[in-house]
Structure 1
Amino acid sequence: MLVGHAVFRSTGHLLRQLLTRVFGSRNERLVRGYGRAVRAARELEPHIKSLSDEALRAKTDEFRRRLKEGATVDDLLPEAFAVVREAAQRTLRMRHFDVQLIGGIVLHRGMIAEMRTGEGKTLVATLPAYLNALTGEGVHIVTVNEYLAQRDADWMGPVYRFLGLTVGVIKNAQSPSEKRAAYACDITYGTNNEFGFDYLRDNLAFRLEERVQRGVAFAVVDEVDSILIDEARTPLIISGPAEESTELYLRINELVPRLTRQKEEEGPGDFSLEEKTKQVHITEAGHEHVEQLMLQAGLLKEGESLYDPANIRLMHHLNAALRAHALYKRDVEYIVRGGEVIIVDEFTGRTMPGRRWSDGLHQAVEAKEGVRVREENQTVASITFQNYFRLYKKLSGMTGTADTEAPEFMQIYGLEVVVIPTHRPMIRKDNPDFVYLTQGDKFKAIIEDIRDCVTREQPALVGTTSIETSEYL
């Protein structure tokens, strides 16, 4: 039976290979299929080119009228893309290549376009953004930081405005009226954080007129793998101050240095660490030691246990203090500036003033660093990027590296990845990753590479995940 099963599996594999060779892979078939719409747009080009600026601008009104009369955005696609291509040529002196039109179709279909670096993803986004903005529901173009949101809006804005559309940018420090005006535009640029937090704030609004967003219809996410995979489970949290005193953090902070870490499993020590999940666990010996210290400090009464329901707060504070001392390091996870503990973003290495850790961790770090301990916050509203972006009626994205995460995109978001061919043959060599047994070997190899680049007078950009690693290198 096993032999027969193996033969059947082998035959199935050979058959799939044969069919792929004859008909092409699914990716090749999709790209070939979208080529028909690209050819249709190309055939319309001479007519579109002959139009005056006013006549080209009037196409937007014509498209909107046709949508009201029963046409679909798919019906308009070839002509709308030809119009955007001509508008970009007249305003930016940039003409979309045919492969960029294919990328635009992929985004419009609610898929992920994998495009190599330098293939013009920013320009590609103008195609589906214009087409979907014609419905009047608004289009959100999501970037990883505010600089890119403003840059892309300024850069591509002339194309949209030439065709009679409005463009807005949402930023962190804007007033509600400024935000409302940006969201009321046909196309709105902003960061994933800002879109998410505005959604949470709208859900906390007491009156409908206080809301700033007008719905989540269609989004184009730039660097989609970073936002939807790497940061997918990152929670966006809006919190308010709790009414508890901060004195307990200071008292527990004095006890923690007297506790010892367990070096090996079942070995001596008061607590063990899980560095990957940033959690601490108190051992049985540690439990007894902590209770003894708390009795001496007057935090526990004789005969009471740390695990009594009435002492849950003590356990909560102890856990936060242990994490602050053992897992969160100054100048790695946070910095201290002007008497404040400021979080460092683990993905970008940038500081995040105003952001605070939850569950008492921030207060425990403040107590550890000897700065003023502010009141603990309680969560008022929370959502992850994964759950927020799944609210959109249609979601699409673009990046240079998505094919490796294709199964996750399909499983979590129902998004298919389509690899877009390059405009010209690739001459850059993409080498495979090197994996080293130890961190020391890895750093040694990095330094050798940097020395080699310096010898050849080639600039070298080294990206790390922490300030500590950057300084070490």
Structure 2
Amino acid sequence: MFFINKIINILNLNNYNNNYYLKNKFNNILNSINLYDKKIINFDNKELKNKTIEFKKRIRSGENLDTIIVEAFSVVKEAVRRIYGIKYYDVQILGGLALNYGCVIEMSTGEGKTLTSVLPAYLNSLTGDGVHIVTINKYLAKRDFNSNKKIFNFLGLSVGLNISNINTFEKIKEYNNDIVYGTNNEFCFDYLKDNLVLNIKNKVQNKLNYVIIDEIDSILIDESITPLIISGKSIDDSTIYKNINKFIYLFDINNTLNNKFYKIDFLNKNIYYTSLGYNLIEYIIFNLKLINNKKKLYYKNNIIFIKYVTSLIKSYLFFKKNIDYIIKNNKIILIDQNTGRLCKNKRISDGIHQAIEAKENVKILEENINIASITFQNYFKLYKKISGMTGTAYTEKEEFKYIYGLNTIKIPSNKPLIRKDLNDIFFINEESKIKYIINDIKKCIKKNRPVLIGTISIEKSELISLYLKKNNIPHNLLNAKNYEIEAKIISKVGKPGNVTIATNIAGRGTDIILGGDYNLFNRNIWIKNNNIVKKSGGLYIIGTERFDSRRIDNQLIGRSGRQGDPGSSRFYLSLEDKLFSKIINNNIKNIINNIKDNKKFFIKNKFISKMIYNIQKSIEKKNFQLRKQILIYDNIFDIQRNIIYKIRNYILCNCIYNNMYKKFKLFFILKILKKYINKKSYNIDKLLIFIKKKFNINIKRKYKYVLYKNNIFSIKYIIFIINKKFNKFEKKINYRTLIIIIRNNLLKILDLIWINHINNINNLQQNIYLKIYANKDPYQEYMLNSFLLFNKMINKWKYKSIFKIFNIIKNI
């Protein structure tokens, strides 16, 4: 009852009566499950397994999941007890209930999220519509698949693992399982690939029914607006990037405060040119002989040159070596800012990646063109029911509710949290800060206390490592450059006196155990180490800078104090930190003056922590507004993508000869007629020449006279003779072969024109802000122009498809 009341105090459900929703639903269900446990414990293994068959029959007979949830959860509890000897805590059951009812749950590190997810996964799989369990990386997907497979198999359910580098047949086999584990990237890519197939048998995904997303904040917040892209090669414009890069210095790149050529929007990573900026672009492009007249820069085919310049300027302003990317084997490899991992196969779109390559003087690869793309935001909204879990969700509850309609529940820990989160210490410069950190680390080592140092970049992690080496302090360094030994390093973090530096510990997926990983020692040694660390105060978390997001800070802090363990955390800050470069106000100036006046090199009090909290909250609010704004634009494109994918699916699954093909033929013929017979002209001569050239149709002399005189007759007759020509060729071909020709060409040309449309939409988005200068609403203009482009694309598809089909069938 304590846990239920605690959750009621935490949860804020605007659309429900809080007490009714929780007391009468979760509390009653939890009590009923615990009561049913007494009955289920007497079942033998066969009877327990047969409950799955019984549940499926009851669902087929018309029962819903609510009527069997008590029994189903109890069956899972008993299965886990028999297989692993583990007993579920009530807080895990509450977490499972919240997931089943489509909520986001916040559970602290070490509280058993993986086992919690088994409960709703089992229940929802009983419908036969499938359950997808999504994790952020392959390691976690394999780990959870292997650990939970025994439970599901014991209960008569099949489990699949969706990984890359397997063929279509194997993919289909994995997706046909009751429950499928995999990464967010893999599920998303499969969806995009499914909408590029030419044969329905090659589609791998089934229904998008129910999804449980692990580290949901990372996937649906941090990565939500970054589109996942299937790309193809474009033109080689490496020489243009190299040549323009020679002139970039003219833009006074290092002057970020009062640049006269552009205004910088650091939050949105964008720049806005002044009139001087546009003049300089004209000068550069003209001198490179890419245009022969400065004013021609703004012609439709030349405006691309502004994009080249913009991409290069952005590469200098917003993308820093060893912070946003590293150079390895003469290649630019991006660093995931949320996990600290390398993104080996990921490239930044819109020419930014090529610009970084030009800046760093490495080989410039061809820019990719988008063949298909979707954001995680829009992909996961395709599921019938979404739920998710993470150690840090509550700070983003507003966004989860607004964007996804998901309520966020904070699940209390099974044991009281005794970790001490200490006040921030503020230093006047970075050198003073690092010296103080080194001193604190030495104190911890003397007490055999393990230390985990969190940094925001590779550059900062290597700087701390350098100071530790100078002070002869042994340590492990975990960043994007040595991620291959990540599991090994993490397993040792909790050892007595161990010092570890990590660029971003968020989402590593491995609990840090006090004393070190169980598998490193025999039991007696581990118990001894565990006791030493607990007596020393537990794991000490050192944050060398605050992130923009409180949630990322909380992920670092949350690595200490798992399951009632002792521990503490503290952030050490300086005026030179990245966070403070974004906002300098009177409060910060007063702190600096206070330090100087008192001849101190640091200050610590609650006011600083509160001030930092407010700065982060302000940045988070701006980031949320940015994501909302991007979503508004992306939703328009999402509507268009869904229409295209529904059209593709219709073509793949239906008989298209009468429903689509005949209508398209009529559209094609009318399009030809409209060109020559319209309000402005009645040009029968040119129409007859066109028909002769394209369809090899000769109009008999007796009909020509009437065509010149009668408009209505002309239209009907032309429709009749072109249709007749089509029918003549169609009758020569086997009907099944004809359908394959029609289907394949409708799909192929739709795909080609859709690719062109994606890139047109991208260009429209990049330049839509210019409408502000014409006193027009950018969103309204974007919506209008994007649908005009879409309508034009659909008409183009109909016309080109029929033309292509005709040219194929006439030559068979």
TM-score by length of 1: 0.87
**Does the C-alpha gap of structure 1 residues 375 and 26 become closer, same or farther in structure 2, counting only changes over 3 Å?**
closer
Aligned residue for 2:421? 431
- Which region of structure 1 is more displaced relative to structure 2, 430-439 or 218-227? 430-439
Bigger helix fraction? 2
Structure 2 distance, partners of 1:293, 1:246, is 17
1:199 to 171, 191, 194: 191
1:330 is the counterpart of 2:321: yes
Structural mapping, 1:406-445, within 5 Å: 406-424=397-415, 426-429=416-419, 431=421, 434=424, 440=430
Aligned residue for 1:396? 387
Aligned residue for 2:43? 51
Aligned residue for 2:216? 224
1:213 is the counterpart of 2:202: no
Structural mapping, 1:228-243, within 5 Å: 228-243=220-235
Aligned residue for 1:279? 270
- Which region of structure 1 is more displaced relative to structure 2, 139-148 or 45-54? 45-54
CA contact (8 A) 1:260 1:271 kept: no
1:84-137 CA distance string (max 9 Å, x none): 111111111112122221211111111122222222111111110000000011
Structure 1 distance, partners of 2:224, 2:215, is 13
1:332-381 CA distance string (max 9 Å, x none): 22222223222221111211122111111112222223333222111122
**Does the C-alpha gap of structure 1 residues 181 and 463 become closer, same or farther in structure 2, counting only changes over 3 Å?**
farther
Structure 2 distance, partners of 1:411, 1:97, is 31
1:138-188 CA distance string (max 9 Å, x none): 111111211111101111111000001111111233332232222111111
1:391-429 CA distance string (max 9 Å, x none): 1111111222222222222222111122223333x0423
Aligned residue for 1:250? 242
Structure 1 distance, partners of 2:214, 2:295, is 55
More RCO (CA 8 Å, sep 6+): 1
Aligned residue for 1:133? 125
**Does the C-alpha gap of structure 1 residues 227 and 25 become closer, same or farther in structure 2, counting only changes over 3 Å?**
closer
Q: How many residues align?
A: 451
| CA displacement at 1:217 relative to structure 2 | 0.6
Paired letter, 1:65? K
Between the aligned residues of both structures, percent identity stands at: 40
Structure 2 distance, partners of 1:409, 1:444, is 41
CA contact (8 A) 2:214 2:388 kept: yes
Aligned residue for 1:464? 455
1:18-57 CA distance string (max 9 Å, x none): xx99x97767835543222222222222332222212211
**Does the C-alpha gap of structure 1 residues 434 and 200 become closer, same or farther in structure 2, counting only changes over 3 Å?**
farther
Which sections of structure 2, spanning at least 5 residues, go unmatched?
13-17, 465-812
Q: Secondary structure at the match of 2:255?
A: coil
- Which region of structure 1 is more displaced relative to structure 2, 365-374 or 344-353? 365-374
Structure 2 distance, partners of 1:452, 1:378, is 55
Which protein is bigger by CA-based radius of gyration? 2
2:305 to 282, 297, 314: 314
**Does the C-alpha gap of structure 1 residues 127 and 299 become closer, same or farther in structure 2, counting only changes over 3 Å?**
same
**Does the C-alpha gap of structure 1 residues 275 and 443 become closer, same or farther in structure 2, counting only changes over 3 Å?**
farther
Q: Secondary structure at the match of 2:35?
A: helix
Structure 1 distance, partners of 2:129, 2:209, is 6
- Which region of structure 1 is more displaced relative to structure 2, 459-468 or 437-446? 437-446
| CA displacement at 1:430 relative to structure 2 | 5.3
Structural mapping, 1:361-376, within 5 Å: 361-376=352-367
| CA displacement at 1:299 relative to structure 2 | 2.5
Q: Secondary structure at the match of 1:206?
A: coil
1:298 to 265, 281, 289: 289
Aligned residue for 2:143? 151
1:81 is the counterpart of 2:73: yes
CA contact (8 A) 1:262 1:272 kept: no
**Does the C-alpha gap of structure 1 residues 41 and 460 become closer, same or farther in structure 2, counting only changes over 3 Å?**
same
Aligned residue for 1:108? 100
Aligned residue for 2:62? 70
Paired letter, 2:266? E
CA contact (8 A) 1:143 1:190 kept: yes
1:168 to 154, 160, 182: 160
Paired letter, 2:400? F
Paired letter, 1:429? R
| CA displacement at 1:268 relative to structure 2 | 5.9
Which sections of structure 1, spanning at least 5 residues, go unmatched?
1-19
TM-score by length of 2: 0.52
